[in-house]
Every structure is written in C-alpha cells, then in structure tokens.
Chains A and B, each alone.
Chain A
C-alpha cells in the first residue's frame, strides 16, 4: 500500500477524495436538512446531459456538466417556488430528460465513444490536475458561502417562513443552496459516479446528524466521516481491484449499519 502512494494517480485520487468528501459533507448536510435528497439525485442524473454536450462540442467535461447541472438547479428552483406541490414530478422529469440528452449527444459524437460506466460509477483513479483545482476552488467557495451567510442559511433551512418574515431573502438562499448542491454533485460524480452520488451525500450526514447539536458541527463531522469512508473505500478498491465508487458506498453502508446497531444499544 505504501509504495502505491508514490504513484501520481494515487496521490491525485487521495487529494480528490478528501476535497470531494468535505464538499459532500457540508452540502450533503444542507441537502438532508432541507429534504432535497431526491432533488440532488435528479440534478446528478440531469448533469449527464452536460457531459454529453461537452463531449460533442469538445469543451471540458467538468465545465459542461457544471453548467448543465446549475441550469437544471435554477430551473428546479424556479419551478418548485411556483408549484411546490408538483416538485416530485418536475424532478423526475428533469432527471430523465437530462440523461436522455446526454445519451443522444454521445451517440451523435463521431468515432471515439466515452466510457459511460466511468460517469455512472465514478473514475477517481483518472482524476487530473485541473480536476483537483476545480474541486479545491469549489470547496473554497462552499466554505466562504457557509461562513459568510451561515445564519441566513440556517434560518432558511430550519424555518423558511419565519426567515422570510424577518427579512431574509428566502428565494436567493434557496437557489444558492441548489446551485452549490449542483456543483457538489458534479465533482462527486468523478469520485463515486452519478448513480451513487446520493449515498455519498446522505450516509455520512445521517450518522453525523445523530452526533451533532448544530448544523455547523453536523457539516464538519459529515466531512470527516465522508473522508474516512472515501479513503477506506479507496483502499479496498486498490487492494482487491474493485470499482472505487461502489467500494466507497459499500464501506459507507456497512459503517452505517454498524453505527445504528451500536447507537441503538447505547
């Protein structure tokens, strides 16, 4: 295992794993307390549309997926603000249409076909230097937004009607949370893939929720737990030659089961 650390791609994988885990911990906490898990799943799948378009038009995949996911997030924000009771329908719609767009654009791309599996289940061992920059910048933005607007985000998440009454711009913060979620989902795709993204955003958070008394501590603990799961999953993946994304998720799920068992007996 130690000699593996000298490989560049392993180093990249570890750095990316830590960056994405922290982003997923922080944003996953917001997604869970705002009951947006299904929504995050929708955005993850919709972003495949962006991947397909990026491949077809030949611009960076991360950029294509990000733009597309942010667009989907803003569309969802707009729709759910006006017809909240139809939210699940819209999410399902965006989920499927986004994926279909991606598949068609990849069909249209001549010659070389991208490996669909690497986006569905992640390809952390193929993380490049630019990817790491992108992840680091995203994490920096998330940390900045959370520290600067913590109380507003807390108020909107806990009791949006009351927040509105106290003059907080609920729509702005709701959209902001969605956009940050979209970007986090996109970087998490690199690590666990778009199908498994939801598990990465929820399992660490679910454990952290039981251990924390405030949203801030929940975010931090989630980040730590997610990092632990990611690194353990990567070790399994490397040692037994397994798919990294699926290994990370199964490590998380097994840990959750163990945690719940111990927590119950306490």
Chain B
C-alpha cells in the first residue's frame, strides 16, 4: 500500500472535541490522514463516527480543537472532498435518472443558466465509466440494485474530481457480491485518491484498509498495513477472524481506551 509515513498530511485533526448540548460525543480526537491512505473508521453505534465525518465535511463546527484539510479550514476545501452519504437506499421512488444523480456532483459550481452543459455531461459520463456504470446512465435510479446504486453515488462524488473520498457505511444495506464490488472499486480508486470509510464491517474493511481508527467518544488508532500478513484466513473464506482482529486491536495501544473498561464492567454484570 503506497502510504509511507512521510507522505504529506491531507486531513489534520488536533485535540478535537464535540458535544450536542451536554452530551459529549467526541473527546480529544487526534487524527492525521496522509495522502493515499485507506483509513477505516470503526466503532459502536452512537460512538461518534458520523459526527466525526460531519465535522470533517464542515457540516458541524468543533467545540474545541481544530480540523484542517490541506492546511485550511474544511469549508475552504470542500471541493476537494467527495462524499458518499449513508442510506442511499432510501428515496428510491424518486423519479430521477442515474446521470442526473451524478450531475448533482456539480451543483453549486459554475453552471450554465439552464439545464446541463456539454462538458458537465461528459464529465459525469466519465465518472460513471470509472465505476463501470456508464451503460445505466439513462435508467431510473430506483431500478438499480443496492450495489449498483452505491457505485452511482461514488460516481457522483468523483464528478468533482476530489482528492479525498469519504464514505459513510457504504455497504450497510447491500448484498455480499455488491459489497465486494464496492470495495474492489475503492481499492482501485485508492491509487489516486485518499479514502476514508466508516463501516461496521470489520473483516472486509481490514482486507482493504491500511489504517484503522476505532472511535467510541475517544479514538484509538492503528496502522495495520504491515500486520495484515499476521492474520490467518479460514479455509476458503476470504475474511479475517474477527476475534483475532479485536484481540490484536485491543493489545496494541488501547491502554486508555474506554470501551475496554465498558466491556469489563459488562462482563462483571453478567
């Protein structure tokens, strides 16, 4: 994986904290994402993963600490980030063509007075070709499978030629085959683009990611690019044993981790 330690930092998060009213969601987060990283963000529901993404995207403002993207505030470099939101399977009745969804990636930039420009359409078709969906451009979005729809959403994000691609639970509601296709696509895109994926799906994600951040209010960070070889795969199944994985993550740098304590108290209660 082409991500040497000295490659330039694209996202820099320092001492970040965030709270809704009095509920502390994120506490003292430090994270440095480097060029062409494939970072997996994992953690329990309500642990603050989506909140962290919203902070990176500038949709929320940090209460403490700071986030810089290419050395500037997130709002200044939004065009460099491609975002694929969660739950692309809602609103499938909406009468919209695949190409129109992808063209949305352009909204807000310089656009012609009416309709869509020729260059925009060419660019959107290019993005669709990148994800292998060019033949579906005129189809209604609702007629696609979950995996196909997710690839269209990735094309929409690619439409703006981002340097960073952020995906929130990209495989949460698609079948196994679709999931694999999405991750293979991300692996290919990772040659030129830094990728950040939030996912529950630990075993699959670690096959593709080179770094993992576990977020549960606080963050513990793991470089797993060199550890992959230490895992066993079971028979023909192409995934890692999650128990081994959790042991590895737990033993690494989790001294201050809250989820460890929680697990312990939970066990005692049982």
User: Residues of A at under 8 Å CB distance from B?
Assistant: 33, 147-148, 150-152, 154-155, 157-159, 161-168, 209, 212-215, 217-218
B219 located at the interface, meaning its Cβ lies under 8 Å from any Cβ of chain A in the complex: no
Q: Name the residue among B85, B93, B108, B111 with the largest chain A CB count within 10 angstroms.
A: B108
Q: Contacts A214-B95, A217-B95 given: A166-B107 contact, CB under 8 Å?
A: yes
Q: Which residues of A contact B113 (CB under 8 A)?
A: 148
Are B104 and A162 neighbours in the complex by a CB distance under 8 Å? yes
B97 located at the interface, meaning its Cβ lies under 8 Å from any Cβ of chain A in the complex: yes
Would you list 7 pairs from A and B whose C-beta atoms are within 8 A, ordered by A residue?
A150-B114, A150-B115, A165-B59, A165-B83, A167-B107, A213-B95, A214-B96
A148 to B115, CA, bound (A): 8
Interface residues of B in 99-136 (CB under 8 A from A): 100-101, 103-109, 111, 113-116
What number of B residues sit within 8 Å (CB to CB) of A?
30
A sample of 6 more A-B contacts (CB under 8 A), given A164-B59, A165-B78, A166-B160, is: A154-B96, A154-B100, A154-B104, A163-B107, A165-B83, A166-B109
Q: Which residues of B contact A155 (CB under 8 A)?
A: 104, 107
Q: Contacts A151-B111, A215-B95 given: A166-B100 contact, CB under 8 Å?
A: no
CB-based nearest B residue for A167: B108
A209 to B141, CA, bound (A): 13
B193 located at the interface, meaning its Cβ lies under 8 Å from any Cβ of chain A in the complex: no
Q: Which residues of B contact A147 (CB under 8 A)?
A: 114
Are B59 and A158 neighbours in the complex by a CB distance under 8 Å? no
A161 to B168, CA, bound (A): 13
CB-based nearest A residue for B120: A151
Are A218 and B95 neighbours in the complex by a CB distance under 8 Å? yes
A159 to B86, CA, bound (A): 11
Chain B 139-172 per-residue mask, 1 if CB under 8 angstroms from chain A, else 0: 1100000000000000010001000000000000
Chain B 74-96 per-residue mask, 1 if CB under 8 angstroms from chain A, else 0: 00001000010100000101111
Q: Name the residue among B95, B104, B115 with the largest chain A CB count within 10 angstroms.
A: B95
B138 located at the interface, meaning its Cβ lies under 8 Å from any Cβ of chain A in the complex: yes
Are B114 and A214 neighbours in the complex by a CB distance under 8 Å? no
| Other-chain contact of A159, B57, B59, B104, B108 (Cβ < 8 Å) | B104
Q: Which residues of A contact B83 (CB under 8 A)?
A: 162, 165
| Other-chain contact of A214, B57, B97, B104, B107 (Cβ < 8 Å) | B97
Are A209 and B104 neighbours in the complex by a CB distance under 8 Å? no
Are B93 and A151 neighbours in the complex by a CB distance under 8 Å? no
| Other-chain contact of A213, B115, B138, B156 (Cβ < 8 Å) | B138
**Closest 7 A-B residue pairs measured CB to CB?**
A167-B108, A166-B108, A166-B107, A218-B95, A155-B107, A213-B140, A212-B95
Q: Which residues of B contact A161 (CB under 8 A)?
A: 59, 85
Q: Contacts A150-B115, A159-B85, A162-B83 given: A168-B95 contact, CB under 8 Å?
A: no
A158 to B57, CA, bound (A): 19
Are A152 and B91 neighbours in the complex by a CB distance under 8 Å? no
CB-based nearest A residue for B159: A166
Give min CB distance, A158 to chain B, whole Å: 6
Are A209 and B57 neighbours in the complex by a CB distance under 8 Å? no
CB-based nearest B residue for A219: B95
Q: Which residues of B contact A213 (CB under 8 A)?
A: 95-97, 138-140
Give min CB distance, B257 to chain A, whole Å: 31
A154 to B108, CA, bound (A): 12
A215 to B138, CA, bound (A): 13
Q: Which residues of B contact A152 (CB under 8 A)?
A: 107
Are A214 and B78 neighbours in the complex by a CB distance under 8 Å? no
